[in-house]
Amino acid sequence: MKVFTSKHELSGYLDTLKEKGKIIGFVPTMGALHQGHLSLIEIAARNTDCVVCSIFVNPTQFNDPEDLAKYPRPIDADIAMLEQVNCDVLFLPAVQEMYSGDEQWSIDLGYLERILEGRFRPGHYQGVTQIVKKLFDVVQPNKAFFGQKDFQQVKVIMKMVELYSMPVEIVMCPILREEDGLAMSSRNIHLSPSERVEALALSKTLNSTRENFAIKPISQLQQDAESFLQNSEGVELEYFEICNAETLMPAESKDEAGLVALVAAKVGRTRLIDNIIIK
Ligand code: PAF
């Protein structure tokens, strides 16, 4: 695996591959890799000629300085995992390589950045789109692969790609779960053994929402899920919403083409998100 820390050197290397007609796949990450990330690399490898993974803990997408400070950074373990799945290129820039001092610019993401995650993490998706735009500008991938776990992030990035007419295909890849249903996340390592059990309330609620979809109205599904989560030991619910999977607006009818249930909650001091496509 080739490792680059400079934008200039990475883009020079990728230009030589593009000149040979190679299709570039890109998997941006913040490191602390788990099987979920590796599945993105594997999907990218099956669909492109060269897979670039970036590891960059992006400061502008954290609202809470404590969250940024404690974000795990096990870089040696990450590199070993990427080598195991035959990732071709790792981009590992320092903060100064990606940001030049005090940058003040934003992207018009409209209501998408104010709903769901945006209500609890104001500015988060500005930070995400800033860094993803910068990374796309360097890598100029043909396809970029993102996990469904942050469903709203995928929508926001698609919106950015549309706004800037970027020539990149965004591919959303399935959530990977532990055997007991917990969605894989870099944050799971912060859960104590008892919190790890409490956290299962999220995937349980999502599954039962999907199971009961045919027999209960949306309002009832919403109410059942909220009351289950509010009464779950150790879980501090932020939101549970059943939304139109295209617009992320609250679902008004079961007849809408696609529906997704999304949840965010704190378990102890760890904030978790999860979702399930219910239709
Ligand atoms: O999903 C993530 O890990 C991050 O939000 C991303 C897309 C790598 C941007 O920092």
For residue range 34-77, list pLDDT tens digits in order. Answer: 999 999 999 999 999 999 999 999 999 998 898 899 899 999 99
Rounded CA separation 10/54 (Å): 11
Confidence bin at 248 (pLDDT 50/70/90): very high
Q: Is residue 103 pLDDT above 90, yes or no? A: no
Q: What is the mean pLDDT of the chain?
A: 97
Residues of the chain with CATH 3.30.1300.10: 186-273
Nearest CA, atom 1, ligand 1: 29
The torsion defined by the Cα of 175, 273, 157 and 83, in degrees rounded to 10, comes to: -50
CB 109 within 8 A of CB 126: yes
Nearest CA, atom 3, ligand 1: 29
Rounded CA separation 279/235 (Å): 26
Measure 227 CA to ligand 1 centroid, in angstroms: 31
Active-site residue (options: 8, 37, 124, 190): 37
Q: Strands of the chain (E only): list them.
A: 2-4, 24-29, 50-55, 89-91, 143-147, 169-173, 235-244, 259-267, 270-277
Q: How far is CA 19 from the centre of its chain?
A: 31
**Weakest mean pLDDT among 64-73, 115-124, 173-182, 251-260:** 64-73
Q: Does domain 186-273 match CATH 3.30.1300.10?
A: yes
Backbone region of residue 31 per phi and psi (left: phi > 0; alpha: psi in -120 to 50; beta: other values): left
For the chain, the residue count is 279
Residue range 92-97: mean pLDDT, rounded: 98
Q: Is the distance from the beta carbon of residue 265 to the nearest atom of ligand 1 less than 6 Å?
A: no
Residue range 16-25: mean pLDDT, rounded: 98
* Nearest atom within ligand 1 for CA of residue 147: 1
Residue range 129-142: mean pLDDT, rounded: 98
Measure 185 CA to ligand 1 centroid, in angstroms: 12
Confidence bin at 130 (pLDDT 50/70/90): very high
Q: Is the distance from the beta carbon of residue 131 to the nearest atom of ligand 1 less than 6 Å?
A: yes
Q: Residue 127 corresponds to which tokens in the numbers above?
A: 């930070």
The residue assigned the tokens 């990035």 is 157
Residues of the chain with CATH 3.40.50.620: 2-173
- Fold of the CATH domain 2-173: Rossmann fold (3.40.50)
> 37 an active-site residue?
yes
Rounded CA separation 279/260 (Å): 7
pLDDT in tens, 218-241: 999 999 999 999 999 999 999 999
Q: Is residue 20 pLDDT above 90, yes or no? A: yes
Residue range 208-224: mean pLDDT, rounded: 98
Residue range 111-138: mean pLDDT, rounded: 97
Q: Is residue 109 pLDDT above 90, yes or no? A: yes
Nearest CA, atom 6, ligand 1: 29
In this predicted structure, what is the pLDDT of residue 101?
84
Q: Is the distance from the beta carbon of residue 248 to the nearest atom of ligand 1 less than 6 Å?
A: no
The share of the chain scoring above pLDDT 90, in percent, equals 97
In this predicted structure, what is the pLDDT of residue 102?
80
Q: How far is CA 170 from the centre of its chain?
A: 12
